[in-house]
Chains A and B, each alone.
Chain A
Amino acid sequence: EAQVTQNPRYLITVTGKKLTVTCSQNMNHEYMSWYRQDPGLGLRQIYYSMNVEVTDKGDVPEGYKVSRKEKRNFPLILESPSPNQTSLYFCASSWDNYNEQFFGPGTRLTVL
């Protein structure tokens, strides 16, 4: 089954404790991206990747890191999480930025 998987689905952590949210897709897509969804703000793109070893900033990259060492994986790293990073995070993949994005199920992160 074609899908985008994210782990964990739910995470509660404390300020400053490094964490990684994994994202994996099995569709051989080249374009992958991370979004955060907040009430009243819609989805905002954090980072995107056009291909392996190629990443670029979206609209809200501060406080986040990503890497794209393999085509299928695109982890999101929060080196020192803060409460304002409490949000619902979605990973997505597609062939490119003008084709359909396939979204993962979301990760609800709470930073205390």
Chain B
Amino acid sequence: AQSVTQLGSHVSVSEGALVLLRCNYSSSVPPYLFWYVQYPNQGLQLLLKYTSAATLVKGINGFEAEFKKSETSFHLTKPSAHMSDAAEYFCAVSEDFGNEKLTFGTGTRLTIIP
């Protein structure tokens, strides 16, 4: 069964500092991996996705994530945090071959310190 673990339910970084949000997954087949962002009182929107092409995936707003099969990880990074990055971030995994469920992690709330 697929699963996602997000380490750190709350992360705080200073404006201009590196953002690193961690995601580890479990999947019995090659996975599809996603990062979504949720701003206060809104639905989720896609930041980026991995679907077995390049292992380094670039997304919107300067975010990127690297798929590391050996570590079963898909960590999200951004070189320089901006105040507008404050939000909750969710990692998600899906499979194929008859299991089309989409499983989300528990989320990481990112706070940016001025």
Binding site for B on A (CB under 8 A): 31, 33, 35, 40-45, 48, 50, 56, 58-59, 90, 92, 96-101, 103-106
Q: Indicate whether A97 sits within 8 Å of B100 (C-beta atoms), given known contacts A40-B106, A42-B105, A42-B106.
A: yes
Residues facing A in B8-40 (CB within 8 A) are 9, 32, 34, 36
Q: Does B63 contact A (CB under 8 A)?
A: no
Q: Indicate whether A42 sits within 8 Å of B43 (C-beta atoms), given known contacts A98-B32, A98-B51, A98-B94.
A: no
Q: Indicate whether A42 sits within 8 Å of B90 (C-beta atoms), given known contacts A103-B44, A106-B43.
A: yes
Contact indicator B51/A35 (Cβ below 8 Å): no
Q: Which residues of B contact A98 (CB under 8 A)?
A: 32, 49, 51, 94, 96
One of A42, A43, A97 near B32 (C-beta < 8 A): A97
How extensive is the interface on chain B, given as a class? 20 to 34
Q: Indicate whether A97 sits within 8 Å of B106 (C-beta atoms), given known contacts A103-B43, A103-B44, A103-B45.
A: no
Q: Does B67 contact A (CB under 8 A)?
A: no
Contact indicator B104/A42 (Cβ below 8 Å): yes
- Contact flags B71-104 to A (C-beta < 8 A → 1, else 0): 0000000000000000000101011100011111
Q: Which 5 A-B pairs have the closest CB atoms?
A: A103-B43, A42-B106, A98-B32, A97-B100, A43-B104
